[in-house]
Each structure stands twice: as structure tokens, then as C-alpha cells.
Structure 1
Amino acid sequence: MDEQTDFREAANWGISPAQLDGVWEPIREAIRQKLIPGATAAILWKGGQISYASGLAVDTKEKAVPARFNTIYDCASLTKVVATLPVLLLLIDQGKLKLEDPVVHYVPEFDHGGKREITIRHLLTHTSGLAASEDFHTQAWDLERILRSIGNKPLSYEPGKQVIYSDLGFILLGVIAARLLNMNLDQAAKQWIFSPLGMLETGYCPPSELLPRIAATELSQETGTYWHGVVHDENARAAGGISGHAGLFSTAGDLLKYARMWLNSEDSIHHSVLSPSVIAASTGLQTSGISGSRRGLGWVLKGDQADVSGSFSSEAYGHTGFTGTSLYFDPQLDLAAVLLTNRVHYGRGQNITQLRSDFHDAAAALIRP
């Protein structure tokens, strides 16, 4: 198996090379089982990091491209918490937005019945009453038509009473951020989040010259070719690749730069990006009283139905992406773990829930054997 490993920054961890190498075994097994073609992963602990890449970023009849440390992945729904969420939290820090603000203040298309009650907090916690998603990609609608459609559809439930994970809510949050900042979401995320954190290989709509480094996703039944460097999510693709719910591309290294801000929110280098107070609010429980749900602002918290943190502590939180990506934190252990795969390369039926949990188990065991 073609692999890359980097343990140099773990020299002061007091952990044997064999133990360090063993943390990647769940990934190796998933590749052997053909659950995924390959992966790039990284773990942040005590300010240092270890990295791993194995398998293939592209596995087709025409070519096989190995996964590497610098392979760029379609982040899918990690877009929600790596692009849209921090821009919204920045607006809250700046006093331009409040969690209890009605969405209709920023999206006039929501001036209908029960939708007047939906707040920014509802969108961020997936408690808005909006459906999980809708088919916009076969309609060839522009953004205004999409907003009118969302605004006119009846709610699935009363806001604040349930959690239904909703792409629609984060599409709206991306629109709100763009309107408040008077710039597209991709520009806002780059200017206010990615550039200050040194995330130079993170963004929407990657240029064609980066194609050799991008992991391919799913085979398109329409074209007979794999989606490669073009966002996998159909609604994001129909929106030109830029949306609040999907569309971001990144590397494991860049996502660990982002992770440092969340684990070290008091650190002077990162303090100017997001304040400790909004980070604490985002990672605290926002859905108490809703059975089976433990959600922060954007984040999935330990014990939620969608949680894949494995044996991480009770303080753990994170998020996953449909293409096979995840970003998870354990503040109690001062630990962050990135797992980037293109599991849809072999079809949407590939389930990697166990891989995610096993990887987090291995990371936690590395620190507290």
C-alpha cells in the first residue's frame, strides 16, 4: 500500500513510533475492504501534528493517482462549519448579527406565516422547521427563485421543537452572510477566515491547474465521467459551486490550521479571528429539551444521533461531510482529528460510519493508552 507518514512533530509526545503508526490502521483496513479508495488524515495534539496519506485519490480505468498530504478534497458539508459558520460568528462578534434575529430581517422572501418566527439560532442548530433539502438543480433556477421557493414551502415542524438536519438552513445562512458583508460567501470566507489563518489551499471552485491534486468523487450517470474538481453536491453545483451548505475544497493541513483556532481560542495568533465567547457558544449545547439531539451552533456534540466521535470525551464535537470527510475535536484531550476521504468514488452506498468512529478511537487511545 502506497503510504506517506509524517511523525516529526510528535518527537516530544513520548509515544513510540509503532504506536504512532498504529493510529492509521482503521484507514488501512477501510482501503483493503474497498470502502474508500484512499485517504489523507491528520491529528493535532499538544501543538504538534502527525499526518498520513494512503491509497488513491483517483481510481479509474484510465488512471490511478495516489493520495498525498497535499491532496485536495471536496469537503461537502464541512463547508457548513468551516466556511459559513465562522463567517456568521464573525458577524456576531462585530455586532452586525444576533442569534435571535428573525431570518426575515435579512431574507424578505420569508415573510410568510410561521417563517417569521425562524431565527438565526434556529438555522444554525437545524431547528428551523425547514425540510432537509429540495431539488433545485434540475430546475435551473436562479438564487431569487430558490429563496422564494424555500419561503413559500410549508414548514415541516414548529421551529425549535425538532432537529432536522437541513441544507436549506445553511443555504440561507450563506445568503445572509453575503448580504450583510456585501460580498459573495467565498470572498468573505477567504478574506475573513482562510487568509488570516494561513489556509491558502482552501476555497470554492478550485482552478483547473490544481486538478492533478484533487481527489475525484462520484461517477456521473449523465456524463459518464467522474466529478473531479467540481463540487459533488448537486444543489451547490447548480449554484455555480458556491453555497452555504457545500462547495468548499481543502486539505488536511489547512483544516488543522482551522482546528487550532477552535482548540486554542485564547491564543493571541488566532484571537483576532473569532472571540473565545462565540467559540464557547458554538460548542455549547443549544438544543436542550429535544430528545436525541445534542447540537451546538453548526456543530454536532457528543451524544447526538449523528455523533461519530467514538471514545472521545464528553466535550467532543465535530462534523462530517457526505463525500467522506470529517473534522472532530476533543477539548478535554486538546485533540483534533481530520479524516478526508472520497468514499463516494466507489458509489454512494459506501458506509464509513464505523471507520470514522474507529479512527477517533485510535486517536484517543494514542493519547490515553
Structure 2
Amino acid sequence: MIIDINRLDRAFDLIKEGVSKGVFPGAVAAVGTRERVIRLESFGNRCLYPEKLSMNKDTLFDLASLTKVVATNTLFMIFLEKGLISVYDNVSYYLEKFKGKNKDDVTIFNLLTHTAGFVPCKPLYKLCKGYEDSIDYICRCGLSYKPGTKCVYSDFSYILLAYILEKIGGDTLDILCDRYIFKPLYMENTTFKPKGNNIAATEIDKKTKKPLIGVCHDENGRFFGGISGHAGLFSDIYDLCKFSNMLVNEGKGIISYASFKAMTTNHTLGLEDNRGYGWCIKGDKNSFMGDIAFPETFGHNGFTGTSLWVDIKNNIYAILLTNRVHPTRDNLRIIRFRRVFSNAVLASLTR
């Protein structure tokens, strides 16, 4: 497949329209292939309140749930290849406190595929005293369904998975990810707890009445000090192009081809969602990856307005970073916008 640059213009014109119509204050987007970045542009503003600040191509974004796949899931795959962990290890093998009805049946596979039986989330920042207490709380929580019978997206799965990886790696998640993922891929601007001012604003904090800038938007992630397996990672478009280039090249430089294929295979056929290890698989379901995306396309998105998807078969990836939760999370127009943007990107593919 070849990307028609003129037809790709429509996708980027949609982002301009999205800014003008208030779908999000600003955005940075990129489309690339195995060989190169085809197009990369910034639009609108990284902050509206208390002052209007322009978006830059190198603005950092709170990736929200992209943390799960860029950081935690990738680290898991690396540790798997080192022989440090297995997909079918029981969670209780690593966490003795993980006890209760059906919990002996929960494996790392269930954490990876969101089939462990957990509820989507709970306000740990209100229920617990800190990170360790939150882990204990999740371990004590009863399951809401029998493991493996449903696919229910849950932050709890990746909070636990990261904790297990920290135990195995002997260090905190941020240090492990920097060592095994970010430095090898030369992702120099990807970090938890970022510094500097060129960071897209997210929601206005109810207490301070100021927008969150460089502070984890997710309340539980913020409660954990900004470092968690489910949220808290910040990055820019350039680093995510490097990460996506690794993906479109089927794991090259980070994980083996065999691991990559296992990671991006749909392991939840017949359940409520299509999941690989961590990644969403398009399949035939409604997806942010677009109405006309090929079934094998995989990707993930984040609550703050971030997303990326990769189509190996047609040698293309697309990254869309927005600050749609600025000034409020009540703006939900990003849900439809992601689909129409992806459709326009895919429509640029020609034979």
C-alpha cells in the first residue's frame, strides 16, 4: 500500500476543524510507516486557562491509559523473554494476599487481557492510605465475575501487573521502563512526573481552580505519586513515533517476532471485547481505530484524549494526542472524532 499525501490532507484538516469546533483545545498528530514519518503537525493550544498557550510539536502529553501498553505491557513482554515471568503464572504466586473466591484461577493472562474478574475501577485515593495499602485492597476485593468468562477493562489489572513487575525487577516502574524501553528506543522525553512548562494542560483541579500541568490526571495515579501501571506516563509525538516504528516493524529492537505476534493476537474471541496482551484488537467491533480498519489492526487510547494504532499489513500507524479533558472531562466529542480521523487516515491508502 502507498499513502496518498493529498488524501491524507483530509485527516489533518479534520484536526483543524476539531480545534475550531471545540472537540479539543489542541492536538499533535503523526502518520508514519516502517520507513519514515509521513506527516507530523501540531494544532491549537496546549492551554486555555488561565492563559492561552500555543501547542508545539514537542509538547508533552499525559498519556493516561496509553501507559498500560507503552510502559507496563512492553516491560512485561521484555521480562517474559528473559524468563522472569510467564503469561500463565498465577497472580497468587507473586502476591500471597491475593486470596478469595475464584482468585486461585486468576493468571497473568487474565491481567493482560482484562479478563480477571475485576470491576473497572474504584477510588483508591478515597479508600486507601497509599500505594501498598491500595495493592492490599485490590488483593482483598471480591471478583465481580468468574475469571475468563468476560472481558471488562479494568485499571486494577495493570496496577497489579506493574506491582508484580516491580517485585521481579527490583526497582520502581519508572526506572525499569527507562532502563528497558525508553533508553533503548531513544525516547528521551518519555517519563513519569515530567518537568518543564511545555506540557499540555488537562482538567482544572476543583481544589486549586488551576489546570493540571505535568501532574497525572488520573486520581489513583496521582495518589500513587504519579507512577502507576495504569496511568501517569508523559510523552511527546516524536518519542511515540519511535515507539510506533518499533511496533510497525513487529517489535524490532525491543521484543522478538514471536512475542510480538503473541502480544497482538486476539485472545478474547467471543467475549465483550477483542484483546491481545494489553492491546485492543480491531476485529469487527466498533473501535476508535476506524470503521474501515482491517481486523488485525491494534491500538490503544487514553482518557485524556490520546491514542495510537498500528496496521502491520498495510505498513501504517497513526498517533493522535489531544488535551480533550482541558478544561473539563465532560467534553466527550473525542469518541466520535477518533473514528472519523482514523477513517480519513485509512482512506489515504492506495494500491
TM-score (norm 1): 0.91
Q: Moved runs in structure 1, 4+ residues, more than 6 A?
A: none
Asked if 2 retains the 8 angstrom alpha-carbon contact of 1:72 and 1:214, the reply is yes
Corresponding residue of 2:126: 138
The reply on whether 1:321 has 2:310 as its aligned counterpart is no
Count of residues in Structure 1 that have an aligned counterpart in Structure 2: 347
Q: Deviations over 1:156-201 (max 9, x none)?
A: 0000000110000000011011000001000000000010001000
Question: Aligned residue for 1:301?
Answer: 281
Which residue of structure 1 lines up, in the alignment, with residue 23 of structure 2? Answer: 35
Which sections of structure 2, spanning at least 5 residues, go unmatched? none
- Judged with a 3 Å threshold, the aligned counterparts in structure 2 of structure 1 residues 306 and 15 are, in CA distance, closer, same or farther, namely closer
- Which amino acid letter does the alignment assign opposite residue 57 of structure 1? R
Letter in 1 for 2:91: V
**Equivalent residue for 1:88, pick from 59, 68, 76:** 76
Name the counterpart of 1:53: 42
d(CA) in 2 for partners of 1:15 and 1:120? 42
Q: Secondary structure at the match of 1:192?
A: helix
* Counterpart residue number, 1:228: 213
Query: Which of the numbers 24, 28, 34 marks the counterpart of 2:12?
Result: 24
Distance in 2 (CA, whole Å) between partners of 1:139 and 1:192 is: 33
Structure 2 equivalent of residue 7 of structure 1: none
Q: Shift in Å at residue 306 of structure 1?
A: 6.3
Q: What does residue 72 of structure 1 align with? A: 60
The 1:65/1:308 distance shift into structure 2, 3 A limit, reads same
- Mean Cα displacement is larger for which, 344-353 or 35-44? 344-353
- Say if 2:154 is the partner of 1:174: no
Residue 84 of structure 1 aligns to a residue in which SS?
A: helix
More moved, 21-30 vs 278-287: 21-30
Residue identity matched to 1:155: L
Q: Percent of pairs identical after alignment? A: 36
Aligned residue number for residue 107 of structure 2: 119
Shift of 1:32: 1.3
**Structure 1 position 303, deviation (Å):** 3.2
- What's the counterpart of residue 246 of structure 2? 261
User: Letter of the aligned partner of 2:315 in structure 1?
Assistant: D
* CA distances 1:38-64 after superposition (whole Å, capped 9, x unpaired): 10000112512110100000111x311
Q: Which of 129, 133, 148 does residue 160 from structure 1 map onto?
A: 148
Contact 1:35 1:346 in 2 (8 A): no
Output the TM-score relative to the length of structure 2. 0.95
Instruction: Write the mapping of 1:261-280 to structure 2, written as runs, cut at 5 A.
Output: 261-265=246-250, 267=252, 270=253, 273-280=254-261
CA distance in 2, matches of 1:161, 1:202: 36
| Structure 1: distance between partners of 2:231 and 2:251 | 29
Provide the secondary structure at the position in 2 that maps to 1:216.
coil
**Aligned-partner Cα distance in 1 for 2:188–2:307:** 20
Do the aligned partners of 2:33 and 2:248 also contact (CA within 8 Å) in 1?
no
Matches within 5 A, 1:333-352: 333-351=314-332, 352=334
Aligned to 1:192: 180
Deviation at 1:249, TM superposition (A): 0.2
Q: CA RMSD for the aligned pairs? A: 1.6
Q: In structure 1, how many angstroms separate the alpha carbons of the residues matched to 2:213 and 2:251? A: 38
Deviation at residue 21 of structure 1 after TM alignment? 2.9
Give the superposition deviation at 1:359.
1.2
1:150 to partner: Cα distance: 1.1
AA matched with 1:178: E
**Aligned AA for 1:348?**
R
Deviation for aligned residue 1:354 = 1.5
By relative contact order (CA 8 Å, sep 6+), the higher-ranking structure is: 2
1:283 maps to 2:272: no
What is the DSSP-based 3-state SS (H/G/I as helix, E as strand, rest coil) of the residue aligned with 2:126?
A: coil
Residue 113 of structure 1, CA deviation: 3.2
Partner Cα distance (1:52, 1:249) in 2: 19
Gaps of 5+ in 1: 1-12
Q: State the 1:361 CA deviation.
A: 1.1
Please give the per-residue CA displacement for 1:271-298, whole angstroms capped at 9, x wherever unaligned.
Answer: xx211111111100111232x3211110
* Partners of 1:343 and 1:256 in 2: CA distance: 21
Matching of residue 357 in structure 1 with residue 339 in structure 2: yes
1:104 aligns with 2:92: yes
* 8 Å contact from structure 1 (residues 300, 306) kept in 2: no
Q: Secondary structure of the residue that 2:320 maps to in structure 1?
A: strand
Kindly indicate whether the alpha-carbon contact (under 8 Å) linking 1:36 and 1:346 is maintained by their aligned counterparts in 2.
no
CA separation in 2, counterparts of 1:34 and 1:245?
A: 28
Choose 350-359 or 231-240, whichever is displaced more.
Answer: 350-359
- Pairing of 1:244-255 with structure 2 (within 5 A): 244-255=229-240
